[in-house]
Amino acid sequence: MVWLLVLKSLIIFLSQLLLNVSAQNGRCPPYSDCGFLGRIRFPFTTTEQQHCGLLAIHGCQRLPPSSRKTIKLGTSTSSSYSVLKVEPSTIFISDDEQQRYLENRSCKAFSNNVTLPHTSPLASFLNKNGITIFRCNQSLKPSLSKDFYKYSNCSEYEIFYGPPNTLTPPGFQWPSSLAPCSTVQLSVDGSSTDDPFLFVISTSVIEVQLSNECERCLGDGKGRCLLDTEGKFYCATGSRSWVTKMVLGLASAVTVILLIAMVKIYYTRRKKQNPTNQRIEVFLKKHGALQTKRYGYSEIKKVTNCFRNKLGQGGFGSVYKGKLQDGRYVAVKILNELKDDGEEFINEVASISRTSHINIVTLLGFCCDGFKRALIYEFMCNGSLEKLICQENALITHHQLDYQMLYHIAIGVARGLEYLHKGCNTRILHFDIKPHNILLDENFNPKISDFGLAKICSRKESMVSIFGARGTAGYIAPEVFSRNFGVVSHKSDVYSYGMMILEMIGGKKNTITGLDPSSEIYFPDWIYNRIESKQELGLQNMRNISDEKLVRKMAIVGLWCIQTHPSARPAISKVLEMLESKVELLQIPPKPVLSSPSTSPIHLSSETL
């Protein structure tokens, strides 16, 4: 492996030389024109020449010159700010979103942190009109001096603040009683008052303070402040002959070509020897021409625009938004490399490629290219059911998602499960039914997704054999993790479905802990006791008797589905029949033996209802 160390050293050496050559070739002009901002100089530059400065302004070349110019501070994913004015070492920026929050007196204004770039050997950055806001739990009672103000009109927290940062003396330390609070850096105009909306503003003045080394480097007008490959400062000066530049260029090109060739040889050998890839390729050859298209990894990168728009991440990998050549938007799941023996990938492709149903997500393509594995699904613009039922006051914020809509979603998921259990040539057991795996389209039609744990079996099989428990805690049927409760079958999906619709009724975050911790009770127990005693349910956001009947019906069906023994649960077709019948005709099931598990996803405070 000595050759790898030698090659690495050579590449580092050449990279350093190329940095000097690039700096000394005069590729950075003394200034750049930026529309109405005029001529800008180091430390500012344009996004077309980011290497020529520390802060790059976007839109300098855009016409007309008066068009909006923007800049990003901090990470590449941070918010964009409008640039109002540029001075030699100072930039004036405005946050349009923050302005709307302030005009509406929204407490979201105290979450819009002004994040500055990290200090480097080249420069540090200062918000000249900044203030530190402390967001504290409402139960916290900090001990503060009279210089501090308290604002209590935010529903989720209280905020505390002292004088602006520029008015705090050198060496000032914030009170230790504020340590449990989170901090936010905002911009202000004037001194602090008891109403933060009167002095917090959306405009920030950011000063770039160059290091002494960088100031000296720029002093004669010939040097450029740069960082080497180890992140250390150096001043690029002088010039090199065209012969030196040519030699460096050729040497670099040869090194890169050799490196690519070595990596390709190593990667190809490893790919051929990897048992996971061999297993997947055997599966794909065995199933012949699948209905879904196979993509190369380079095509996946094009579809996702080099993975720019990330939708989410989980234990399986990451999901990105993409666009096919025909204009359709898709969700691309990139599976973690070497996460397993390929079982999840095989399960997804084998299961969904056999399905075609309005309540099953459509698999549009897949990728198996070396160690890269990806699945391409139709894009669901309303995300997962979990995101909606987990949000505080979701039924109010999303007016479409009332109890009638939740009932519509429950019916759709049941029809999807019925199709998997009875409508295919083979029976497909999902084993991971939960709100996170239910996606909603633009009309809130539900679609079952994520078949990584699915099991394909014959329609005649009344039970299946699996090794170990599979699923998500809180939704796993008792027989899946202990065979003492019965055999694993399609009734295991019914249990998960029952837990899901009970969660839809109660809301995953519908928990309020009172002074007495024992006041928190398990939601299925609570709903069962109410229904059995024929009490009013009294859940939040229930508007009329029609809502009451829908919720009662869904609750009774959910309680039937979570019966401890599989034989006591209805098949999913019977579940559909119960959901579509009148609530007065439904019989109340026996109370499930298992209750109040420690891993339960649904709890409800007795003080809430």
Residue 375 has, within 13 A of its CA and on its CB side, a CA count of 27
Task: Identify whether residues 506 and 365 lie together within a single domain.
Answer: no
The reported pTM is 0.54
**pLDDT of 166 over the 90 cut:** no
In a domain, 556, yes or no: yes
Mean pLDDT of 198-202: 93
- Residue type present at position 85: K
Domain membership of residue 541 (yes or no) is yes
Bigger pLDDT: 465 vs 575? 575
Please report whether residue 16 resides in a domain.
no
Binding residues: 333
Q: Would you give the DSSP letter of residue 384? A: B
Our CA angle for 27, 32, 35, nearest 5°, is: 150
Residue 449 lies in a domain: yes
The 3-class secondary structure across 457-468, one letter per residue, is ECCCCCCCCCCC
| Per-residue pLDDT at 41 exceeds 80 | yes
Whether residue 592 has a cis bond before it, omega within 30° of 0: no
Of 321, 344, 378, the position where a domain reaches its end is 378
Provide the number of structural domains found in the chain: 4
Same-domain pairing of 344 and 433 = no
| Residue 122 backbone dihedrals phi, psi, to 5 degrees | -90, -40
Residues 402 and 468 in one domain: yes
Local structure of 22: helix, strand or coil:
helix
| Residues 137 and 83 grouped into a single domain | no
Could you tell me if 408 and 535 lie in one domain?
yes
Instruction: Confirm if 427 and 490 have CB atoms less than 8 A apart.
Output: yes
| End-of-domain residue from the set 44, 72, 94 | 94
Question: What is the average pLDDT across 237-246?
Answer: 56
Residue 248 pLDDT exceeds 90: no
Instruction: Look at the block and give the residue holding tokens 């504020």.
Output: 178
171 sits in the region (left: phi over 0; alpha: psi -120 to 50; else beta) called left
Q: Is the pLDDT of residue 379 over 90?
A: yes
> What was the pLDDT predicted at 509?
42
For residue 556, what are the contacts with CB-CB under 8 A and spacing of at least 6? Answer: 531, 578, 583, 586, 588, 589
Q: Look at residues 64, 449, 22 and name the one whose alpha carbon lies nearest to residue 244.
A: 22
Say if residue 231 is exposed, middle or buried (CB neighbours under 10 Å; 0-12, 13-18, 19+).
Answer: exposed
Q: Which positions are catalytic? A: 432
Are both 462 and 560 inside the same structural domain? yes
pLDDT, residue 463, reads 67
Q: Kindly report the CATH number assigned to the domain that includes residue 599.
A: 1.10.510.10
Q: Which of 211, 226, 261 is the last residue of a domain?
A: 211
Quick check: is 399 in a domain?
Answer: yes
The per-residue pLDDT for 537 is 74
Cα–Cα separations (whole angstroms), residue 365 to 89, 91, 174, 287, 360:
51, 47, 55, 15, 15
Domain identity same for 424 and 397: yes
Structure tokens belonging to residue 341: 């023996």
Q: Is 411 exposed, middle or buried (0-12, 13-18, 19+ CB in 10 A)?
A: middle
Residue 428, strand partner residues: 456
Residue 126: inside a domain: yes
CA separation for the pair 179, 167 (Å, rounded):
21
Q: Do residues 482 and 469 lie in contact, with contact meaning Cβ atoms separated by under 8 Å? A: no
Nearest to 47 by CA among 61, 57, 35: 57
Residue 563 maps to a domain: yes
Q: DSSP per residue over 406-446, as a string? A: HHHHHHHHHHHHHIIIIISSSEEE-S--SGGGEEE-TT--E
Cα–Cα distances in angstroms (integers) from residue 280 to residues 74, 185, 451, 452, in the given order? 42, 51, 16, 14
> Burial code of 286-303, b = ≥16 C-beta within 10 A, e = fewer?
eeeeeebeebeeebbbeb
When the pLDDT of each residue in the chain is averaged and rounded to a whole number, the result is: 81
Whether 289 and 412 share a structural domain: no
Instruction: List residues bridging with 455 in a β-sheet.
Output: 429
- Name the band, by pLDDT with cuts 50, 70 and 90, for residue 446: very high
User: Are 399 and 531 in the same domain?
Assistant: yes
The more confidently predicted of residues 489 and 341 is 489
User: For the chain, what is the total number of helices (H) and then of strands (E)?
Assistant: 15, 28
Alpha-carbon gap, residue 277 to 371, rounded angstroms: 7
Using the predicted structure, report yes or no on whether residue 11 has a pLDDT greater than 80.
Answer: no
What does the pLDDT look like over 305-351, one tens digit per residue? 999 999 988 767 899 999 999 999 999 999 876 555 666 777 778 77
Confidence of residue 177 (pLDDT cuts 50, 70, 90): very high
Name the more confident of 154 and 355.
Answer: 154
Quick: pLDDT tens for 82-129. Answer: 999 999 999 999 999 999 999 999 999 998 888 888 888 899 999 999
**Confidence at residue 137, expressed as pLDDT on a 0 to 100 scale:** 93
Vertex 386, ends 552 and 531: CA angle to 5°?
A: 15
Rounded Cα distance, 605 and 609, in Å: 7
Amino acid, single-letter form, for residue 221 = G
Q: Is residue 290 domain-shared with residue 422, that is, in the same domain?
A: no
Q: Give the domain extent around 37.
A: 31-94
Q: In this structure, are 76 and 113 located in the same domain?
A: no
Q: Which residues have C-beta within 8 Å of that of residue 440, sequence separation ≥ 6?
A: 380, 382, 383, 384, 385, 388, 409, 446, 447
User: In terms of domains, do 352 and 328 share one?
Assistant: yes
DSSP 3-state of 272? helix
Annotated binding site for ATP: 333
CA distances from 371 to 186, 313, 343 (A): 45, 19, 14
Write down the pLDDT at residue 234: 84
Structure tokens that stand for 467 in this block: 């090794």
The answer to whether residue 265 is domain-embedded is: no
The percent of residues above 90 in pLDDT, for the chain, comes to: 43
